[in-house]
């Protein structure tokens, strides 16, 4: 026969440490060996409380005249007796107890993230990804550097970058450890590597776009939203292994973080543009390509851009004259 | 020996005879009573008008509410002066002080020979009135407007002072120096002309001179830029390019090359600049036209790496020009890929406007041809204190002058 219910002894964090099945009432609880439930808490009396069932089937906890009394679990108030419902808690001495029956609801099942990606995320694959990123960073460094460079120098800077990435993945793993009790380090590191590779590719592409189509608002917007998307997706992916959020919440979190970053940089950009400066901000990107394929304006078209430039300078002049007056 | 004796007898005489007509000019900040500028001037006619340099009194003209002019004669008496007229192009100004003065220095155009001994008077670095000997070395040949080369030491503070012959006749007005006894004078004819067209009494406020300064600069820059990058001009072969050089006789050009063993690329520089410029204010001048061709080439770097260098050098020009918020606006730029007759270039045009002299601009045009895999050129034209029409006209003429060698 199934028990009527369970008395659970909870640890300070609220987790169940011992669970006693109850087959009949009354149940006595205390430090003495005469009790059905024996507690090792020195602040509990040998015979502390008894749980009895009324004829109506209601349960009541009664204090048996203990030294430290019976307390409610929520606010710690001392009471003589306490009605006990399914899922209800009470405190004696330093121990919290809970009574549960078949009708007590349990928390939703947590998802164990052992999916296809997790099976791929073995330490070997993470290591291989690290090597790929290292090579990509080294190539990028080599192409951007115009001195005669040694292999050691080409590798050193990317190694520093890889170490930073490892630390970044480590911080996420720490969060995973707290939330799930598992590190998921390989997963976090793979996500970091993927974000880095995509960023490298994206930066190079946006430079080419800026070269092909200079002064274009569309290219500018694409590069801003591209970086934001990379950031949002990587936050989303990290959160998948570091939080129990639903996918929509993770998406919102990712978007929120990237929007915050865009917002801050947009404000800085705007403030810098409004501030007086003697520096000329033009786009000096050039790339090696056959000039035949480079889209270009005619000289007349270029010279026609000087009129809007003059208009901007007249607006700046007007603003300067009003503020100086 | 005769010359030495001559020198011993005449210099003290000249100082004794003429120094009383020379005054110290100070531009004083009204609030703090701090001296902002120190210069020299001299009485130039019977109406007791004083001639000095425009740059000595320019602060007052730009901010009349903040400054006043004080003149001190050799007797140590001080009075406040007003501006009667300016000639920005020749860097001259005519002042008037209420205190009466007897006598003046003779201003007359005279023919003198190279090597003639001249005497310059002034207050170098506020150390008291000084007389400096030197020689007349004719008019400068490569400048758009004539300047006298005076071989003698003119120092800051002597600006606006007279340089006279033994007879006391003014030959020129001290204006600038390059050090090492190389000094420049404004020919006296310009001072005579300015006195002729300037009123004898002051009827204008200092503030009303600013638009006049603007008009004079406008007229000046349009006259000399009309002759720049026009018609047949010499070209320079640099790598695969054929480029303009010395676009007018008043330009000077020079070149240098960097070929260091430790660098995997080579740089050749060719610079041209006008010597003529006019002083607008302490941080601004007008009429300077400069251009620079920088050829980059490599036999060692692959195209991707070479273009990292090329792009980096192209961006490096983002270093600004000097200037402050009261005088100029920020720069605004336009960048485009442009198809010229011989090939395609990345081209950026940046400009800013003068706030106190609206309609005058500083501008920079930067051109970088694309298409070559191991050679690049960064060609930069900078203009200061020119009208927008001239920014456009010169940018166009400059771009048209860039050619490819076939």
B211 inside domain: no
Backbone angles phi, psi at B292, to 5 degrees: -140, 130
Which residues of B are less than 8 Å from A290 in CB distance? 371
For residues B17 and B148, membership in a common domain is answered with yes
Looking at chain B, the number of H-run helices and the number of E-run strands are: 6, 25
Residue B72 pairs in a beta bridge with B24, B78
For residues B192 and B317, membership in a common domain is answered with no
Q: How far is CA B112 from the centre of its chain?
A: 26
Identify the residue among A145, A146, A325 best suited for mutation to test binding to B, counting B beta carbons within 10 A and taking the highest: A146
Chain B CB within 8 Å of residue A296 CB: yes
B60 inside domain: yes
Minimal-distance CA residue of chain A relative to B366: A284
pLDDT of residue A270: 87
Chain A CB within 8 Å of residue B211 CB: no
Whole-angstrom CA distances from B48 to A221, B19, B203, B353 are: 67, 15, 16, 38
The C-alpha of A282 sits at a distance from chain B's nearest C-alpha, in angstroms, of: 6
For residues B106 and B245, membership in a common domain is answered with no
The C-alpha of A203 sits at a distance from chain B's nearest C-alpha, in angstroms, of: 14
Which residues of A are less than 8 Å from B262 in CB distance? 148
Residue carrying the six token digits 């997706």: A233
Q: Which domains does chain A have, with CATH numbers?
A: 5-100 (2.60.200.20), 116-203+224-274 (no CATH)
Domain count, chain B: 2
For residues B225 and B272, membership in a common domain is answered with yes
Pair of tokens at residue A168: 């970044």
Helix axes A185-212, A123-144, angle to 10 degrees: 30
For residues B29 and B156, membership in a common domain is answered with yes
For residues B199 and B60, membership in a common domain is answered with yes
For residues B46 and B160, membership in a common domain is answered with yes
For residues B117 and B47, membership in a common domain is answered with yes
For residue A151, pLDDT over 50 is answered with: yes
B97 inside domain: yes
| Mean residue pLDDT across chain A | 89
Chain B CB within 8 Å of residue A170 CB: no
Q: Which of residues 205-224 of A touch B (CB under 8 A)?
A: 211-212, 214-215
Chain A CB within 8 Å of residue B312 CB: yes
E strands, B8-141, in order = 22-29, 35-43, 49-52, 67-72, 78-87, 92-96, 106-107, 117-122, 130-139
Which of B204, B230, B264 delimits the end of a domain? B204
For residues B260 and B187, membership in a common domain is answered with no
For residues B194 and B307, membership in a common domain is answered with no
Write out chain B's pLDDT in tens, 406 residues: 344 444 455 788 888 888 888 999 999 988 888 888 899 999 988 888 999 999 898 888 888 888 889 898 888 888 888 899 899 888 999 998 887 788 888 888 888 889 999 999 998 877 888 898 899 998 887 676 788 999 988 888 889 999 998 888 899 998 888 878 889 999 999 999 999 888 776 667 766 788 888 888 888 888 888 878 887 888 999 988 999 998 887 888 898 887 788 888 899 999 998 877 777 776 677 777 889 999 999 888 889 999 999 998 898 865 557 788 888 999 999 999 999 988 999 999 999 999 988 899 999 999 999 988 888 999 999 998 899 999 999 999 999 999 998 7
For β-strands A5-10 and A16-22, DSSP reports them as antiparallel
B209 inside domain: no
> What is the distance between the alpha carbons of residues B242 and A157, in angstroms, rounded to a whole number?
41
Write out the residue range of the structural domain in which residue B282 sits. 219-404
pLDDT of residue A314: 94
Whole-angstrom CA distances from A67 to A71, A78, B39, B99 are: 12, 11, 101, 110
Q: Does B348 sit within 8 Å of A147, measured CB to CB? A: no
Q: Does A302 sit within 8 Å of B347, measured CB to CB? A: yes
Q: How far is CA B69 from the centre of its chain?
A: 23
Say which CATH number the domain at B185 has: 2.40.10.120
pLDDT of residue A110: 65
Q: How far is CA A319 from the centre of its chain?
A: 45
Contacts across the A-B interface (CB distance below 8 Å): 177
Instruction: Using DSSP, state whether B116 is helix, strand or coil.
Output: coil
B210 inside domain: no
pLDDT of residue B223: 83
Kindly report whether the peptide bond that precedes residue A26 is cis, defined as omega within 30 degrees of 0: yes
Backbone angles phi, psi at B334, to 5 degrees: -130, 130
pLDDT of residue B320: 58
For β-strands A27-30 and A37-38, DSSP reports them as parallel
Say which CATH number the domain at B310 has: 3.40.1000
pLDDT of residue B1: 38
Which of B142, B174, B204 delimits the end of a domain? B204
Condensed to tens digits (0 to 9), the pLDDT of residues B227-246 reads 788 878 889 999 889 999 98
> What is the distance between the alpha carbons of residues A52 and A29, in angstroms, rounded to a whole number?
11
Contacts of A168 (CB under 8 A, 6+ apart): A188, A192
Contact yes or no for B242/B405 (Cβ under 8 A)? yes
Nearest to A313 among B305, B332, B347 (CB): B332
> What is the distance between the alpha carbons of residues B401 and B8, in angstroms, rounded to a whole number?
58
For residues B310 and B374, membership in a common domain is answered with yes
Condensed to tens digits (0 to 9), the pLDDT of residues A102-112 reads 788 887 776 66
> What is the distance between the alpha carbons of residues B381 and A280, in angstroms, rounded to a whole number?
14
For residues B88 and B180, membership in a common domain is answered with yes
Q: Does B355 sit within 8 Å of A320, measured CB to CB? A: yes
Q: How far is CA B168 from the centre of its chain?
A: 28
Q: Does A284 sit within 8 Å of B314, measured CB to CB? A: yes
Which of B204, B236, B263 delimits the end of a domain? B204
pLDDT of residue A217: 86
> What is the distance between the alpha carbons of residues B395 and B351, in angstroms, rounded to a whole number?
11
Please state the ipTM of this predicted complex: 0.81
B212 inside domain: no
Condensed to tens digits (0 to 9), the pLDDT of residues A69-96 reads 999 988 888 999 899 988 889 999 999 9
Q: Which has the closest alpha carbon to A99: A7, A170, A171, A227?
A: A7
CB-based burial of residue B319 (10 Å sphere; 0-12 exposed, 13-18 middle, 19+ buried)?
exposed
Q: Does A148 sit within 8 Å of B344, measured CB to CB? A: no
Q: Which of residues 7-46 of B touch A (CB under 8 A)?
A: none
Question: For the whole model, what pTM was predicted?
Answer: 0.77
B84 inside domain: yes
Instruction: Using DSSP, state whether A136 is helix, strand or coil.
Output: helix
Which sign, positive or negative, has the C-alpha torsion A178, A179, A183, A186?
negative
Contacts of B287 (CB under 8 A, 6+ apart): B217, B220, B221, B224, B274, B276, B277, B278, B384, B385, B386
B374 inside domain: yes
Please, what's the largest Cα pairwise distance for chain A? 104
Banded pLDDT at A313 (limits 50, 70, 90)? very high
């Amino acid at each position: 026969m199934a028990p009527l219910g369970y008395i659970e002894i909870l640890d300070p964090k609220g987790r169940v440490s011992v669970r006693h099945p109850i087959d009949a009432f009354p149940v006595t609880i205390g430090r003495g060996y005469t009790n059905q439930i024996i507690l090792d808490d020195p602040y509990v009396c040998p015979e502390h409380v008894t749980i009895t069932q009324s004829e109506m089937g209601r349960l009541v906890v009664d204090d048996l005249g203990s030294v430290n009394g019976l307390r409610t679990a929520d606010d710690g108030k001392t009471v003589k007796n306490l009605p006990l419902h399914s899922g209800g808690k009470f405190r004696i001495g330093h121990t919290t107890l809970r009574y549960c029956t078949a009708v007590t609801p349990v928390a939703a099942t947590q998802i164990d993230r052992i999916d296809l990606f997790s099976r791929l995320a073995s330490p070997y694959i993470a290591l291989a990804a690290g090597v790929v990123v290292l090579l990509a960073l080294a190539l990028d460094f080599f192409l951007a550097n115009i001195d005669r460079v040694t292999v050691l120098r080409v590798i050193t800077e990317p190694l520093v970058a890889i170490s930073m990435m490892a630390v970044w993945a480590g911080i996420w793993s720490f969060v995973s450890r707290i939330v799930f009790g598992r590190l998921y380090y390989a997963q976090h590191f793979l996500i970091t590597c993927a974000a880095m590779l995509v960023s490298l590719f994206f930066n190079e592409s946006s430079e080419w776009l800026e070269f092909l189509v200079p002064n274009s608002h569309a290219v500018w917007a694409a590069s801003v939203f591209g970086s934001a998307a990379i950031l949002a997706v990587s936050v989303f992916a990290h959160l998948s292994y570091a939080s129990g959020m639903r996918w929509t919440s993770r998406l919102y979190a990712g978007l929120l973080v990237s929007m915050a970053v865009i917002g801050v940089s947009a404000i800085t950009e705007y403030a810098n543009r409004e501030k007086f400066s003697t520096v000329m901000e033009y786009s000096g990107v050039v790339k090696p390509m056959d000039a035949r394929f480079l889209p270009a304006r005619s000289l007349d078209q270029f010279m026609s851009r000087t009129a809007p430039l003059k208009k901007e300078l007249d607006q700046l002049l007007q603003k300067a004259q009003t503020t100086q007056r | 020996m005769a010359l030495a004796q001559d020198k011993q007898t005449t210099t003290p005489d000249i100082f004794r005879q003429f120094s009383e007509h020379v005054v110290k000019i100070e531009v004083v900040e009204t609030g703090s009573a701090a001296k902002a500028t120190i210069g020299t001037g001299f009485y130039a006619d019977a109406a007791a008008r004083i001639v000095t340099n425009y740059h000595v009194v320019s602060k007052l003209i730009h901010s009349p509410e903040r400054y006043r002019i004080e003149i001190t004669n050799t007797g140590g008496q001080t009075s406040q002066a007003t501006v009667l007229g300016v000639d920005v192009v020749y860097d001259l100004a005519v002042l008037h002080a209420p205190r009466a003065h007897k006598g003046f220095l003779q201003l007359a155009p005279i023919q003198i020979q190279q090597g003639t001994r001249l005497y310059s008077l002034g207050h170098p670095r506020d150390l008291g009135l000084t007389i400096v000997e030197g020689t007349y070395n004719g008019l400068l040949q490569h400048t758009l407007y004539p300047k006298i080369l005076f071989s003698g030491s003119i120092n800051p503070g002597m600006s606006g002072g007279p340089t006279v012959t033994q007879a006391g006749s003014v030959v020129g007005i001290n204006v600038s120096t390059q050090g090492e006894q190389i000094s420049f004078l404004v020919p006296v004819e310009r001072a005579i002309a300015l006195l002729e067209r300037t009123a004898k009494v002051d009827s204008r406020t200092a503030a009303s001179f600013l638009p006049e300064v603007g008009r004079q600069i406008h007229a000046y820059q349009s006259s000399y830029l009309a002759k720049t990058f026009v018609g047949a001009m010499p070209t320079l072969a640099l790598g695969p390019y054929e480029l303009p050089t010395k676009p007018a006789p008043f330009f000077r050009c020079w070149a240098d090359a960097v070929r260091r063993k430790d660098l995997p690329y080579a740089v050749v520089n060719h610079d041209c600049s006008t010597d003529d410029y006019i002083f607008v204010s302490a941080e601004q001048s007008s009429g300077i036209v400069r251009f620079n061709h920088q050829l980059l080439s490599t036999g060692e770097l692959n195209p991707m790496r070479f273009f990292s260098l090329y792009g980096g050098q192209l961006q490096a020009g983002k270093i600004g020009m000097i200037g402050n918020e009261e005088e100029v606006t920020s720069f605004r730029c336009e960048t485009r890929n442009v198809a010229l007759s011989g090939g395609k270039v990345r081209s950026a045009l940046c400009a800013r406007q003068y706030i106190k002299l609206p309609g005058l601009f500083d501008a920079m045009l930067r051109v970088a041809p694309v298409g070559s895999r191991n050679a690049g050129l960064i060609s930069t034209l900078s203009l200061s204190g020119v009208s927008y029409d001239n920014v456009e006209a010169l940018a166009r003429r400059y771009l048209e002058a860039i050619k490819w060698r076939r």
